[in-house]
Structure 1
Amino acid sequence: MRLWSIHPQYLDAKGLVGLWREALLAQKVLQGDTSGYKNHPQLTRFKSTANPVGSVADYLRHVADEADKRGYNFNRDKIVNERCGGRIAVTDKQVEYEFTHLLNKLKQRSHELYLRLSSEIEEIEVHPQFAKIRGNVEPWEVT
């Protein structure tokens, strides 16, 4: 399960669709609608909020917003009608780690996007559900 902290604008089509699917799975897990992935480390940050289901629903809405900008049609009816309203802290080192990880993926499957992102991006934007703070890589992300 990969729930990116970086802004979904950086993802290629395959990455954006994958993120949508993974976040929908996370929503099911947090609702208790599936037996798998209950203790997945990437769910920790959502579980730590006052409303985990609302938090992942907010996350999904932002992913759907990015899809809309690209002319994709993600079914927003799959997002539960809950909201969290807050943002989740993510460290700057975690954001850098994820961006580097994405660049390595794009180098193989979307070389043109890889070249553009690796040369043009100076300040990495985070997913709107997150607020960047100073700190180390999150331990649940290191593989």
Structure 2
Amino acid sequence: MRLWSLDPALLDRRALVAGWRETLLAQKVLRGETKGYTRHPQLERFRDRPDPLQTIADYLHAIADEADRRGYNFDRGRIALERSTNPDPMNVTSGQLEYELAFLRQKVEGRDPDWGRAHLDSVGKPAPHPLFAVIDGPVESWERIKPLGQ
């Protein structure tokens, strides 16, 4: 499960679609509708929120917004709650964003290098998902770091 901290606009087609599906699974976990993935570290930051289900819904709406911009048809009816009028931003560290961008670049290089060159090569400081506010810091403690470049 990968719940990207990056702006969905940075995600290639496969990462955007996978992010949608995996976040819908995370929503099921938070609703108690599945027995799998209940202890997945990516969910820690959502569980720590005052209203985890609303937070994951707001996260999903932003992914669906990017899908709409690209002409994809993500079914917003699968999102448990409407978008909140005043979303509660979450912090994400600059180190986490940098790690995720490097991880995404590696994935995209293997599946669609032309898209990566056109969309990721010029990215210096990665933008966060609209639900996140960037703070200085290393990779987040919940991240399971995979060696890059291998």
TM-score by length of 2: 0.91
| In 2, Cα distance between equivalents of 1:5 and 1:135 | 14
| In 2, Cα distance between equivalents of 1:80 and 1:12 | 25
| In 2, Cα distance between equivalents of 1:119 and 1:81 | 36
User: What is the correspondence of 1:100-115 to structure 2 with a 5 Å cutoff?
Assistant: 100-115=102-117
| In 2, Cα distance between equivalents of 1:29 and 1:41 | 12
| In 2, Cα distance between equivalents of 1:76 and 1:87 | 21
Which region of structure 1 is more displaced relative to structure 2, 63-72 or 109-118? 109-118
1:126 aligns with 2:128: yes
Q: Which residue in the other structure is 2:26 paired with?
A: 26
| In 1, Cα distance between equivalents of 2:34 and 2:105 | 32
Contact 2:57/2:79 (8 A) holds in 1 = yes
User: What is the correspondence of 1:28-67 to structure 2 with a 5 Å cutoff?
Assistant: 28-67=28-67
Pair 1:71–1:117, CA change in 2 (3 A): closer
When the two chains are superposed, the root-mean-square deviation of aligned CA atoms in Å is 1.2
- List structure 1 runs of 4+ shifted beyond 2 angstroms: 116-119
Q: Which residue in the other structure is 2:139 paired with?
A: 137
Pair 1:77–1:131, CA change in 2 (3 A): same
Query: Secondary structure of 2:92's match?
Result: strand
Q: Shift of residue 10 of structure 1? A: 1.1
| In 2, Cα distance between equivalents of 1:7 and 1:52 | 20
| In 2, Cα distance between equivalents of 1:15 and 1:135 | 25
| In 1, Cα distance between equivalents of 2:70 and 2:19 | 15
Unaligned runs of 5+ in 1: none
- Higher-helix-fraction structure: 1
Alignment identity in percent? Answer: 47
Q: How many correspondences in the alignment? A: 143
Q: Which residue in the other structure is 2:76 paired with?
A: 76
Q: Shift of residue 118 of structure 1? A: 4.2
Query: Secondary structure of 1:108's match?
Result: helix
| In 2, Cα distance between equivalents of 1:105 and 1:119 | 13
